[in-house]
Amino acid sequence: MRVPRGGANRRCDDPPVRRDEASVAAARRLGHARRMGTLRRLVIALSSRAWAVALLAALTVGMARRLLAISAQIERVTGHAAFDMQANLGVGDIALQLARYTPEAVRLYGEFSQTDFLFPFVAASFWAALLVWGLRRARPAVYRAGHWARFVPWLYLGCVFDWVENIANAWVVGRYPPLHTGVAWLAVIAKYAKVAAGSATIVLAVAFALWGASASIARYVQRRVQ
């Protein structure tokens, strides 16, 4: 009688070699989480804590109010708000306004820039956390899969453009005269790119937050009815 290859080393009561599908999925999720960048892990951690989201909201509002206050002081000195706060701005506008920048205006713009370097990151983190919170509430299975996390850095694109604008504006104000036209153009381009990217992030965050809130309310009503 011929013995099947490998049969001598295998016991008849050995269970078939199978992997539980749930274990495989969990392992994949764990591996994906380990590969996540620090920014992704930060957003997930923030979105999981209501107090963190509330703190980010308070910081965003507080910093925005400070920026508006400093911009108002700059406007009293120069006749114009800070470059970052103007809806319509071109290189020609920057050239005309810089001529009115006194040492006091330069000092005020330095204070404005200090706050405005932290503000974009705090605001972007708030909107990103709000979006992830909504996704977790609306589609728990999609959230657990984790594939959405690769798109988290795109929510900070407006923040990156804001930083570029801040650096360019600080260079233009600090090195004037003369006006560095190329840097001024960079500031203007980054400004409008910031507005476009930041607006898209805010719209997505609000939409996902409303989606998640409505899904949570619907589940709560279903439980009460049952």
| Angle in degrees, CA 84, 86, 87, rounded to 5 | 115
Give the relative orientation of helices 157-174 and 91-98 as an angle to the nearest 10 degrees. Answer: 40
Look at residue 12 in the predicted model and tell me its pLDDT: 41
Q: Where are the alpha helices (DSSP H) in 16-102?
A: 21-35, 38-47, 50-78, 91-98
Look at residue 190 in the predicted model and tell me its pLDDT: 97
Please name which of 128, 130, 133, 176 lies closest in space to residue 154, comparing C-alpha atoms.
Answer: 128
138 within 8 A of 215, measured Cβ to Cβ: yes
Look at residue 134 in the predicted model and tell me its pLDDT: 96
Q: Which residues contact 122 (CB under 8 A, 6 or more apart)?
A: 56, 59, 60, 63
Look at residue 197 in the predicted model and tell me its pLDDT: 98
Other beta carbons within 10 Å of 126: 23
Q: How far apart are CA 190 and CA 123, in angstroms?
A: 17
Residue 67 CA: distances (Å) to CA of 32, 60, 72, 118, 192 = 39, 11, 9, 11, 18
Look at residue 86 in the predicted model and tell me its pLDDT: 95
Look at residue 26 in the predicted model and tell me its pLDDT: 42
pLDDT digit string (tens) for 161-211?
A: 999 999 999 999 999 999 999 999 999 999 999 999 999 999 999 999 999
* Phi then psi dihedrals of residue 14, to 5 deg: -65, 135
Look at residue 50 in the predicted model and tell me its pLDDT: 93
pLDDT in tens, the chain (226 residues): 454 454 444 444 444 434 444 444 543 554 444 445 899 999 999 999 999 999 999 999 999 999 999 999 999 999 999 999 999 999 999 999 999 999 999 999 999 999 999 999 999 999 999 999 999 999 999 999 989 999 999 999 999 999 999 999 999 999 999 999 999 999 999 999 999 999 999 999 999 999 999 999 988 888 888 7
Look at residue 224 in the predicted model and tell me its pLDDT: 83
Other beta carbons within 10 Å of 85: 17
Question: Largest alpha-carbon pair distance within the chain?
Answer: 103
